[in-house]
Structure 1
Amino acid sequence: MTRATKEASAALRFLPKLVIPEGRLAGRRLRLAKYQKQFIRGAFAKGVNVACLSIGRGNAKTAISAGIALGHLMGEIEAQPKREIIFAARNRDQARTAFGFLVGFIEGLPEDQQEQFTIRRGSKLEVETAENGGGLARVIAADGKSILGGAPTLAVLDERAAWERDKGDNLENAILSGLGKRDGRALIISTSSSDDSNAFARWLDEPPNGTYVQEHRPPPGLPPDDLESLLIANPGAKEGIGPTPEWLVSQAQRAIARGGSALSSFRNLNRNERVSSDDRSVLLTVDEWMACEVAPDDLPPREGPVVLGVDLGGSRSMSAAALYWPDTSRLECVGAFPCNPSLADRGQADGVAGRYDEMSERGELVTMGDTTVPVDRFIADVVARLDGQPPASIVGDRFRYAEFIEALRAAGLERVPFIPRGQGWKDSAEDVERLRRAVFEGQVKSVPSLLLRSAFADAITLVDPAGSHKLAKGRSLGRVDAVAATVVAVAQGQRMRKTPARQARMAWA
């Protein structure tokens, strides 16, 4: 463990003197949990000016930040005169939470220490002190113009993932530029964002120099009520902070039973996973997909016609192909990335570490081409896996119809019927429903596949007012291209199964 700096040691000495102002532990002295001590050491480490903490809801991230702010305001942690502390949030009401913790900690101090503070709760939420060089703590909302010209020495950016994109970025930029004037420090705290494009996600995935990142996020693809992974996202549960393990499991089971946005919201807020809960639903739960996995010896044979579903990617996204035999319910899937950048680099950029390399070792992911996957070669390689059996049809995105036709001609597959499917509500909603029905009726069987398991764990659907679902290609974490290929392949296979066989007509001469 890295040795604590002077400032970190001061914070670790100061915080246990505070009295918890609310909750089931109200009235007791603050006892720092292991993960909180870890964050304090990292936030005040040498060379660090921005510290990011991502953790499940209810694990006292706001409270601990408010305690640090109070120590800073009193000059107990850093003795710089005329200190300025900012509590920033998406709106005033949200920022009031951190301000409330600050005031609550002040009210738990000895009376002679309380007298040094002036608390303002009017149009401005502020706490001021003239002791130890003086200091001011104030609340601002997501409007960057409100702090132009300021020079904060400490800033707490609360629930950063929930800020509006433009206003939030403006506020963050204004705060960080102001911190540079006096060697200030920023604490960026939040539950997980809903997608990788969020500014908070970029802080976690691509931290600049001088940034400390502490993220409590369980591995993807696990059941929502898996206790071990719940405790990864909620480390305070083991130390009496926030929700108890029993409550987390019960709420997970409730979310599973309700499904839809309730399950997505639980994964995002309580499991700290990057899953959107805004007018969205999961395509299939992890448990529903894992029911489709069978041992290699139990995989149905390759009998009857086979449907090839293809989802084409670009230079940054994955191309994927799914092979589905509707007569036996067998499903196979493979993905492809360009060779440049490497799978290891892509894994780091996507925040999945070595998962792509593991998929490659399992034979589920291949690389070809330089910066883009050659469509004709990819389709030809997938068809070669059929050992001479021609596909009954190839299904793909209608928007890329011309690209498909050219690739099929180059691959020598121009005689195979190509069935274009749109990505809008009309086609996608039908395909999603056919996939779900096939899964629930036990008509999809696959060997355990890390590629498919990861993709289904992150695949979400948009829901219209009529309750129709369509696959949302905007990913939450990882790649869902394998799911897109599987959806169109299985849906077409189900249509083939439902089509009545043609019967010969007889006519009397």
Structure 2
Amino acid sequence: MTCAPRLEIEFEGDGGGHVLRVIAADGKSALGSAPTMCLLDERGHWALDKGGELEAALLSGLGKRGGRTLIISTSAADDTHPFSKWIDEPLPGSYVQEHRPPPGLPADDRASLIIANPGSAHGIGADIDWLVGQAGRAIARGGSSLTSFRLYNRNERVSGENRDLLVTMDEWLSCETSDLPPREGPVVIGIDLGGSASMTAAAFYWPETGRLECLGTFPASPSLLDRGQVDAVGDRYVQMQDRGELSVMGDKTVPVASWLAEVVKHVEGQSIAAITMDRYKQSELAEGLGRAGIRAPLVWRGQGFREGGEDCERFRRAVFDGKVLARPSLLLWSAFSDAVCLRDPANNLKLAKARSNGRIDAAAASVLAVAEGARIAGRPKSKARVIWA
């Protein structure tokens, strides 16, 4: 029997008293209820505020009768979403089953598509050949089409927001190579100085070969694992350290002079074409460079819509032209996944975080280094002239 105006179905057989109620994702609609079983469909894509209220109301009602809940959804857009927390940090008594392929694979990779869609082999859901075809169309279109395919069809945790990513995952993957070009010619160093909570990063770019390297540093306190929990990335920072992409220096903050000395030591013996940095921290960085005894051309850049917009566009152009090549890097992959671009009314860009606790310092340093490298490469090389008097 169907009951109106609410979407309810009552089963009169088997003793009666069984009611199936369908409610909207609005927390107030579930207040005061006492369900014995809840099915939360597509929890990863509920509105954050109303979705959180509804989940809290349902879980509170379930406790009245010792009820159970079943949460089903494709992946949320990031690790900070409550649905991602249910998977990454399961509570006692929870059972988790996840079908998410490893990150960084091509969108049309058949084996990983089967991992994300296990029912396809048994006639449940989308056919695998159809998925491969849709992946090809998404790759051809790129942009938001490809991002949406990864989020909804490949079950990957990728940003689904409307703001422009600095570069998409697939655009960055085209820059990764195991056959890295040599360190030839002058190197440009990009510096992004962080504080106690944020990361401090340095990027090294060789304009003549397109080689890009990047290193990140955190203070020792709190530990990398604790930082990962606060930033909702789990043990990702520990993995970066194990891969040699992230280091620890200092206690509560990274000592600027000592860190800059280590940065220059990373390219010891190389000719430094320029060290480019954020003008916002010019005084602190200049003092550190002086104490470390570093002598090199310094380029100060703003991070607003004017100079920051130019640097973002130069970086994007270099990526699209195949002039940025780097080893597979969890540090850079993580940074670019959180790096978005804001636009002003004149359509100028400014680099920003996709989420408040995202760490885009490695991306910011890379943008500075590659953009300055592009400017250096674009300047005509002057020939020396000798005049005898």
TM-score, normalised on structure 1? Answer: 0.67
Determine the structure 1 residue equivalent to 2:8. Answer: 126
- 2:206 maps to 325
User: Aligned AA for 1:203?
Assistant: W
1:492 aligns with 2:375: no
CA contact (8 A) 2:147 2:168 kept: no
Seen in structure 2, the aligned counterparts of structure 1 residues 222 and 313 have a Cα distance that, compared at 3 Å, is farther
2:306 equivalent to 1:426 = yes
Distance 1:265 1:477, change over 3 A: farther
1:257 alignment partner, one of 128, 131, 140: 140
The answer to which of 438-447 and 244-253 deviates more is 438-447
- Decide whether the 8 Å contact of 2:219 with 2:254 is kept in 1: yes
Q: Secondary structure at the match of 2:95?
A: strand
Q: CA deviation at 1:342?
A: 4.1
Question: Could you say which residue in structure 2 is the equivalent of 1:189?
Answer: 72
Change (3 A) 1:240 1:156: same
The structural deviation recorded for 1:366 is 1.6
Matches of 1:248 and 1:147, distance apart in 2: 37
C-alpha deviations, 1:126-152, integer Å up to 9, x for none?
Answer: 011344351222122233233322211
Distance 1:238 1:188 in 2: 23
Residues 295-350 of structure 1, C-alpha deviation per residue, up to 9 Å, x if partnerless? Answer: 56x6233322x221123344444322101122332322112233344445556776
1:100-249 mapped onto 2 (5 Å cutoff): 118-120=1-3, 122-130=4-12, 131-132=14-15, 134-249=17-132
Unaligned runs of 5+ in 1: 1-117
The question of whether the paired residues in 2 share the 8 Å contact of 1:401 and 1:420 is answered with no
Provide the residue aligned with 2:241 in structure 1: 360
Distance in 2 (alpha carbons) for counterparts of 1:166 and 1:251? 33
Secondary structure of the residue that 2:204 maps to in structure 1? strand
1:197 Cα shift? 2.6
User: Secondary structure of the residue that 1:430 maps to in structure 2?
Assistant: helix
Q: Which amino acid aligns with 1:487?
A: V
RMSD value, Cα = 3.3
Q: Cα offset for 1:400?
A: 3.6
For 1:179, give the aligned amino acid: L
Specify the alignment match of 1:335 in structure 2: 216
Query: Which residues of structure 2 form unaligned runs of 5+?
Result: none
| Paired AA for residue 440 in structure 1 | F
Report 1:319-468 matches (<5 A): 319-343=200-224, 356-389=237-270, 391-413=272-294, 416-422=297-303, 424-456=304-336, 458-462=337-341, 464=343
Between Structure 1 and Structure 2, whose CA radius of gyration is higher?
Answer: 1
Q: Distance in 2 between matches of 1:406 and 1:477?
A: 28
Following TM superposition, by how much is the alpha carbon of 1:269 offset from its aligned partner in structure 2, in angstroms? 0.9
| 2:362 alignment counterpart | 482
Same amino acid, percent of matched pairs: 56
1:434 Cα shift?
Answer: 1.1
1:396-445 deviation line (CA, Å, top 9, x unaligned): 334444443343344334765241231x4433332222122223333223
Q: CA deviation at 1:178?
A: 1.3
Asked whether the 8 Å contact 1:396–1:419 carries over to 2, the reply is yes
Distance 2:54 2:380 in 1: 62
SS class of match (1:387): coil
Deviation at 1:450, TM superposition (A): 4.2
Q: Judging changes above 3 Å, is the alpha-carbon distance between structure 1 residues 178 and 290 closer, same or farther for their aligned structure 2 residues? A: closer
Q: Residues 342 and 123 of structure 1: is their aligned pair in 2 closer, same or farther, counting only changes over 3 Å? A: same
Show the counterpart of 1:74.
none
Structure 2: which amino acid aligns with 1:128?
E
Aligned length: 386
Q: CA deviation at 1:453?
A: 4.5
TM-score, length-normalised on structure 2? 0.85
Contact 1:326 1:490 in 2 (8 A): yes
**SS of equivalent residue, structure 1 residue 276:** coil
Equivalent-residue separation in structure 2 for 1:294 and 1:163 (angstroms): 37
Report if aligned partners of 2:143, 2:168 keep a CA contact under 8 Å in 1: no
- Change in 2 beyond 3 A, CA 1:499/1:318: same
